[in-house]
Chains A and B, each alone.
Chain A
Amino acid sequence: MPLAETPNVIAALPELFLALIVMVSVVLGVFQKGGANEINVKVFRVVFWLSTISITLTAFLLILYAGERTVTFAGLFLSDTYSVFCKILILTGSVITLVIARQFLERHEMARFEYPIIITIATLGMLMMVSANDLISLNLSLELWSLSLYIIAAIRRDDIRSSESGLKYFVLGALASGLFLYGASLIYGFSGTTNFDELSKIFSASTDAKIGLGIIFGITFIIAGLAFKIAAVPFHMWTPDVYEGAPTPVTAFFAVAPKIAALALLIRVMVGPFGDLWAHWQQIIVFLSIASMLLGAFGAIKQYNIKRLMAYSSIGHIGYALIGLANGNEAGVRAVLIYLAIYLVMNIGCFACILAMRKDDRMVENIESLAGLGKSHPLLAAAMAIFMFSMAGIPPMAGFFGKLYIFLAAIENELYLLAIIGVLTSVVASFYYLRIIRIIYFDDIDEPLDKPIDKEIGIVTTFAGLAVLFFFLYPGYLVTKAATAAASLFSG
C-alpha cells in the first residue's frame, strides 16, 4: 500500500474531533493564572463543560457518519455498525459518569482541570480500541486507555487509598499489557501478519491440523491480557481494591465505559480474526465465565463497602456477558450487546445513587448507612431498589431481559452447563442485592443521608430508573439495533 494514498478520514472523524478537543482543553487548562497546580474551579468548569459537550457531539458525529463497513488508515482502523453501537454505549457511559461527578469533585477539592481531560483521553482510547483492525493499533489504543485509567485512579494523590489503588492497578495492568503483547507477538510470528482481516483469511483457510501451537498460545495470552481489562476471574484481583480505593466518581466511570469497551474489544478480537478458531478458545471463555459468575456471586455476600460490593457485582456481570461470547455466534454477540446496554443503564443509575450517599458532607460507603433510605429519600430509595432488582435479574426489570437473551443464546447452542450455573449463581447473587433493598426499606433509620441530593444525580437516577423499570414496554428498539450491530460483525 503506497503511503501517498490519503486515508479516508471521514470514518475516523469522531475520534479526530475528540483528539482535537483534548489538545484544546489541555492548552486551556495550562494557561491559567496561578500555575497549573492550583485548583481553579473556573478553569475546571470551562474544561469540564467543553469535554462534556464534545463527548456528546462525538456521539452525534458518530450517528451522522455511521455507514457501511469502512477500513481506513492502511487497514488499521475500522468503522462498522458494531463499532458504532459500542461507541455510543461508551460515550454515553463516559458523559454521564462525568456529569454526575462534577459536584462531587468540586466539593472534595478535586476540581482539577485534568480530570475531565483524562476521562476524555480514556474515552478516545476506548473509541479507537473498538475500531482497531490490527494488533498494532489495538495495542496503541489499549495503552492510551489503560494509562489514562491508572492516572485517574490515583487522581487524589494526597489520599493514600487513591494512590494505592492507582499503583496497584498500574502494576497489574502493566503485567496484563505485557501478556497481551507477548500473545500478539506470537500471533505475528506464527502467522506473519497483524491485520485482523488477513488473520481471519489465514485461519478460515487452514485446517485444525495446520494451526500451530504458537497460535494457540498467542490467543491464550491475548485472552489473558484482555480478561484482565474486563476483570474476569482469575484476572480480577485488582478490581475490588481499585473500586474501593479510587474516588467514587472514578469508580463509577471504571464500572461502566471501560468494561463495555474492553468487552467489545474482546468480542471483536475473538470473533473477528480468531472466529474460525472458536473451538480452540471457547473453553477458555467458558472457564472465565463460570469462574467469574461464581466469584461474583459468592464474593459479594460478605462485603459491607458498597463500592467493593459493586466490584464483585461487576465481575459477576462480566461472567454472564461472557456466556454470550462463549457461543461465538451472532445470537451470542447480540445477547452480549443487549446485556451491555442494559448493564450500562443499571450501573450508571446505581453509581449515581452511591454518589448521593453523603452524611454531614462526607462520603459514606458502608451499605448499612443506607438504612431508612426508604423513609428519608423515597424516590432515591425506589430508584436504588429498581436497580438492585434489575441487577438480580428479576422481571419485569431490564436486567431480566439482559439475562434472558444471554441464556436464550446459551440454550440454543446447548451450553446447558453454563446456563444452569448462570441461573443458579444469579439466585445466589440476588441475595446480596436483596440485602441492600432490605437495608433501604426494612431497617430502621439511624441517621439519614444528606439532603438535597445533587440535581444531576437526581435527573440521572430518575431517567435510569424509569428506563430500567419500563424497558419491557418497548424492548424492540434496542434489540433490533443490537441485532444489526452483531450482524455487521459477522458479515465483515
Chain B
Amino acid sequence: MSEFPILSLVTFLPIAGALFILTIRDKEPHVVERNARYVALWTSGVNFLLSLYLWFNFDSSSAAFQFVVKSEWMPILGLSYHLGVDGISILFVLLTTLLTPICVLASWESISVRIKEYMISFLVLETLMVGMFCALDLMLFYIFFEGVLIPMFLIIGIWGGARRVYSAFKLFLFTLTGSVLMLLAMFTMYFDAGTSDISKLLTHSFPASLQTWLWLAFFASFAVKIPMWPVHTWLPDAHVEAPTAGSVILAGVLLKFGGYGMLRFSLPMFPLASIDFTPLVYTLSMVAIIYTSLVALVQSDMKKLIAYSSIAHMGFVTIGVFTPTTQGVEGAIYVMLSHGVVSSALFLIVGVIYDRNHSRKIADYGGLVHRMPVYAMIFMVFTLASIGLPGTGGFIGEFLVLIGVFQINTWVATLASLGIIFSAAYMLYLYRRVIFGELTNDKLKKTFDLTPREWSLFAPLLLLTIWMGIYPSTFLDFMHVSVDSLLKQVEQAQAVATNISFAAK
C-alpha cells in the first residue's frame, strides 16, 4: 500500500471537517454560524476536487477494483477495512461529492436554526455515502449503508416540515426492517464463502437453493431503498418533510443505494436467483412506473409530485439491472446518474420558490414566468430532462434501458415506454401550472429572480445534464469494461447451472 490512500481521504475528509465545526466557538452566534457554513462548504468543495483525482486517474480499461486500500480491522472474524472503486461505483462517488457542496450551498440561507449541527450532519452523511460506494467488505458496506440513517433521521426530524416526526420515523423503520434481513443474509454468505471480501464473494458461487433466500433478503433491503412499489410509501413523506438539501441528497444519492446494491450483490452474486425473480422485478417495476406516474399526475404538492416521479424513474433502473444486457445495465446506471442530477435540480428548483413564498402547493403559484424568466428557463431544461427529451441526460439512460429490455421482453418495453409518456404529462402539467398563466397570487408579485448563489447551484447541474445528453461516452466509457465483466460472470454462472441441470437429466 505504498500508493496514496486517496479513497480513505475522500471518504473521511468530511468527518474531519465535521470535527472541526464541532470545535468552533464564539460569543456571537452569527459568527459561529457563518464559520460553520464556510467550513462545511470548503470541506465538501475540497473533497469534490480531491475526488476529481479519481476521475482523471481511473483506468477504464480494467474491470478490477482500483485505488484499493486494505488493512485488518476485526480479528478472529477476518473482517477488513477495504475500500476500492470500479467502473460501476466511481461515478456514484463523484455524484456524491458533487452534490454535497451543492447541498451546503442550498442551505445557506434557508436553514436558520442549529446551523452547526446541520452542517455536521451533512458532512457525516457525505462520509457515509462515499464509504458505502467504496466499501469492499460486507460488514463495512453494511455499516455505511445503515449508518446513513442516523444523519438522515436527524436532518428530516430537526429541520423538516410540519409532519417531520412521522416522516423521519417512517424512513427509519422502513429502511431498517429491510436492512436487518440483509444483515442476516450477509452472515450466511460469510459462513458459506468463508470471507467477507466483496471482490472474493463476486467469484464465489453460492448453492442455488441458498441463492433464492439470499436474493430475497437483499431484495427486501434494496427494494425499500430504491424504492419499489409497494414499499415506496416512505419516500413521498420523507421528501415532502425534508429540508430542500435533504431532499436533494435523498433523491440524488440515497435512492441509488438500492440500485447500486442490486448491481453489486444481487446480480453477480446470486445470478440464478436473479433469473428466477426477474418476472417479479419486472412486474413490480411496471406497476411502479405506471401507478406512480398516475399518482404524480394528481399531486397538489410539488415535492410530492417529484418524489413520485423518482419512483417511476427508479422503475427503469430495476428493469435495466435485471435485463441483464449491456445496454440494460449501462442504461440503469445512466438513469441513476442522470436522475441524481436532474431530480436534485428539481428539488432545488422547488426549494428556490419555497424559500421565497413558503409554500409547495402548486395551486399557490402560476405565472412565475413574468417575474422570474431565468428561473422559468432553468425549470424548463430540467423538466425536459426529467421527461427524457433527447439532448438531455434523462434520454440516454431510459433509451438504453428500453433497448436492453426490448431484446428480452417486448411487453415490458412497451409498458415502460408508456411511463415516458406519462412523465411528459405530469411534468409539463406541473410546469404549466407553476410557470405559465396569469400572475394571480398577490404575494408572488414581489418575487425576485435567481440570486448569484442560486445560479451557482444550478450551473454545474445544468452543464452536466446537457453534457450527459450530448456526449454520453464520457460517462459510459467508465463503465463498459466493468459492466462487461459483470455480465460475463452472470452468463457463466447461468451456463454452469444449465449444464448441471442438463447433466442431471
Contact = CB atoms under 8 A, between A and B. Distances in A.
The number of chain B residues touching the other chain, given as a range, is 20 to 34
A366 interface: no
A300 to B, nearest CB: 15
A417 to B, nearest CB: 11
Interface in A387-442: 389, 394-396, 400, 404, 407-408, 411-412, 416, 419-420, 423-424, 426-427, 430-431, 434, 437-438, 441-442
A408 B77 contact: yes
Contacts of B188: 411
B177 interface: yes
A480 B76 contact: yes
A424 B147 contact: no
A476 to B, nearest CB: 5
Contact of B180 (A374, A375, A423, A479): A423
A395 B139 CA distance: 10
A483 interface: yes
Interface string B62-83: 0000000000011111000000
Contacts of B146: 394-395, 400
B187 A411 contact: yes
Nearest to B191: A412
Contact of B149 (A394, A412, A438, A483): A394
B157 interface: yes
A65 interface: no
A475 interface: yes
B439 interface: no
Given A411-B188, A442-B157, A483-B76, A426 B180 contact: yes
Interface string B147-166: 10110011001100000110
Nearest to B77: A408
A476 B75 contact: yes
A170 to B, nearest CB: 40
Interface stretch (B168-176, B199-207, B298-306, B367-375): B168-176
A479 B117 CA distance: 33
A190 interface: no
B143 interface: yes
A472 interface: yes
A461 B454 CA distance: 42
Given A394-B150, A431-B173, A441 B74 contact: no
Contacts of A394: 146-147, 149-150, 176
Nearest to A435: B169
Given A476-B75, A479-B75, A480-B76, A423 B169 contact: no
A407 B187 contact: yes
For the residues of B in contact with A, the DSSP-based class is helix
Max chain B C-beta neighbours (<10 A), residue from A374, A375, A395, A416: A395
Given A430-B176, A441-B154, A479-B74, A411 B191 contact: yes
Contacts of A412: 187, 191
A441 B157 contact: yes
Contacts of B147: 394-396
Contacts of A400: 143, 146
Contacts of A396: 143, 147
Contacts of B139: 404
B445 to A, nearest CB: 34
Contacts of B180: 423-424, 426-427
Contacts of A404: 139
B176 A427 contact: yes
Nearest to B72: A476
B415 interface: no
A434 B74 contact: no
Contacts of A374: 114, 117, 158
Contacts of B231: none
A480 B75 contact: yes
B76 A408 contact: no
Contacts of A472: 143
B143 A442 contact: no
B184 interface: yes
B191 A395 contact: no
Nearest to B74: A475
B434 to A, nearest CB: 31
Nearest to B143: A395
A199 to B, nearest CB: 30
B173 to A, nearest CB: 6
A396 B139 CA distance: 10
Interface string B125-152: 0000000000000010011001101100
A419 B184 contact: yes
Contacts of A476: 73-75
A410 to B, nearest CB: 8
B183 A442 contact: no
Given A411-B187, A411-B191, A395 B165 contact: no
B181 interface: yes
Contacts of B164: 442
A398 B147 CA distance: 12
A56 to B, nearest CB: 29
A416 B187 CA distance: 11
B181 to A, nearest CB: 7
B75 A423 contact: no
Contacts of B158: 374, 441-442
Nearest to A426: B180
B302 to A, nearest CB: 24
B176 to A, nearest CB: 5
A411 B190 CA distance: 10
A374 B168 CA distance: 17
Interface in A453-492: 472, 475-476, 479-480, 483
Contact of B172 (A375, A411, A423, A434): A434
Contact of A411 (B142, B150, B165, B184): B184
B181 A423 contact: yes
A470 to B, nearest CB: 11
A442 B165 contact: yes
A136 to B, nearest CB: 36
A418 to B, nearest CB: 11
Contacts of A427: 173, 176-177, 180
A396 B73 CA distance: 14
B388 to A, nearest CB: 37
Interface string A329-364: 000000000000000000000000000000000000
Contacts of A408: 77, 187, 190
B173 A395 contact: no
B73 to A, nearest CB: 8
Interface string A221-263: 0000000000000000000000000000000000000000000
Nearest to B139: A404
A442 B188 CA distance: 38
Contacts of A441: 154, 157-158
Nearest to B185: A411
Interface string A355-389: 00000000000000000001100000000000001
Contacts of B74: 475-476, 479
A416 B213 CA distance: 12
Nearest to B145: A395
B153 A434 contact: yes
Interface in A264-297: none
A375 B191 CA distance: 46
Given A408-B190, A420-B181, A475-B73, 6 more contacts: A374-B114, A407-B187, A441-B154, A441-B157, A476-B73, A480-B75
26 contacts: A374-B114, A389-B150, A394-B176, A395-B142, A395-B143, A395-B146, A396-B147, A404-B139, A407-B183, A407-B184, A408-B187, A420-B184, A423-B181, A427-B176, A430-B172, A434-B153, A434-B172, A438-B157, A438-B168, A441-B154, A441-B158, A442-B158, A442-B168, A472-B143, A475-B73, A479-B76
Listed from nearest, the 5 A-B pairs whose CB atoms lie closest are A423-B180, A411-B187, A395-B143, A442-B157, A395-B146
Interface of B: 73-77, 114, 117, 139, 142-143, 146-147, 149-150, 153-154, 157-158, 164-165, 168-169, 172-173, 176-177, 180-181, 183-184, 187-188, 190-191
